[in-house]
Structure 1
Amino acid sequence: MTNMERPSLRVVLSGCSGGSKSTLLAKLADVGFRTIPEPGRRIVDEALRGDGTALPWVDLAASARRAINVAAEHLRVAREERGWTFFDRGLVDAAVALQHATSRAASVTLAAFPPYHRRVF
């Protein structure tokens, strides 16, 4: 099966900070899998450089909405690729953060997006 014949398979790695998600992601990248970093790190880096105020400890709802937008873009790009893509956290974590900040059900937020693979690590 060529790469173009393979379906797009998107797997999310989720869990607590310090749970080795990034370490596993790095190992997957080392052996040739496509990997996507955690949206939260990018958002914090942008905010600290003065490119935004969506810091989770300042405005959790704004941070979660920004993470949803970043994760949605990551998913869109990954859907155009074939084969496996592994995500460090992503849309699920951002939807749960938004639920925590606003009471908007994560299932409602997630319904608008294509699913990840049914296996979550």
Structure 2
Amino acid sequence: MADGYVVITGGPGAGKSTLAEHLASLGFRVQPEAGRAIIRDQVAISGPALPWLDPGLFAELMLSWDLRSYHAASGTEAVVFDRGLVDTIGYLRMLGRTVPRHLHNAALTYRYHRRVFAAPPWPEIYEHDSERRQSLGEAERTYEAVVRAYADYGYSVVTLPQAPVEERAAFLIRAAGWPART
């Protein structure tokens, strides 16, 4: 089923979630990003698993979320993942942290489509919000780290065009080898 599991990756604020939402509106199944949901939940409960408090615990929750998302997609032919397991590896590497063996094993065991779609930094659309505290420079470093991590795990990274969401979606659908939807 891995060829049906397409990942959209990149740094914060590059239009990944907007693209995933648009693909959902076209009828594709979408697994949402772990990071934002975890941050919302942890803030709501005054939890410790926030990237600015305990990045290691935050990474463990992202791993757990991404494994659940992967399993929840089972039986679906075309699924879009707003980030995937390997993003957490890129995140930890960017912070200079050791990648735990179990996370490495997860990335080798639970595979996605051979092409991963990367949204490059896009300063014109980048915005801060209550969950996105990174500077544009941090967003650029995140992009570089996750792209490198996916390449290291044997994926072909395809750069998404900086274009309107409809064009980005059409590009991804074609490059993934999926039939077009309107």
Q: Same fold (TM over 0.5)?
A: yes
Aligned mates of 2:34, 2:27 — CA distance in 1:
21
How many pairs were matched up? 113
Aligned to 2:30: 35
1:8-87 equivalent positions in 2, closer than 5 A: 9-50=4-45, 52-78=47-73, 80-87=74-81
Percent of pairs with identical residues: 36
CA shift at 1:111, angstroms?
Answer: 2.7
Q: Which runs of 5+ in 1 are unaligned?
A: 1-6
Aligned AA (1:30): S
Task: Say what the alpha-carbon RMSD is for the aligned residues.
Answer: 2.0
2:85 to 91, 100, 106: 91
CA shift at 1:83, angstroms?
Answer: 1.1
CA shift at 1:108, angstroms?
Answer: 6.2
CA shift at 1:81, angstroms?
Answer: 2.3
TM-score, L = length of structure 2: 0.57
1:119 maps to 2:109: no
CA shift at 1:77, angstroms?
Answer: 1.0
Aligned mates of 1:83, 1:33 — CA distance in 2:
9
Moved over 6 A (4+): none
Relative contact order, CA 8 A, sep 6+: which one is greater? 1
Aligned mates of 2:91, 2:64 — CA distance in 1:
13
Encode CA deviations 1:46-91: one digit per residue, 9 max, x unaligned. Answer: 101116310001111110011000001000111x222111011121
TM-score, L = length of structure 1: 0.82
- The 10-residue stretch of structure 1 (10-19 or 48-57) with the greater mean CA deviation from structure 2: 48-57
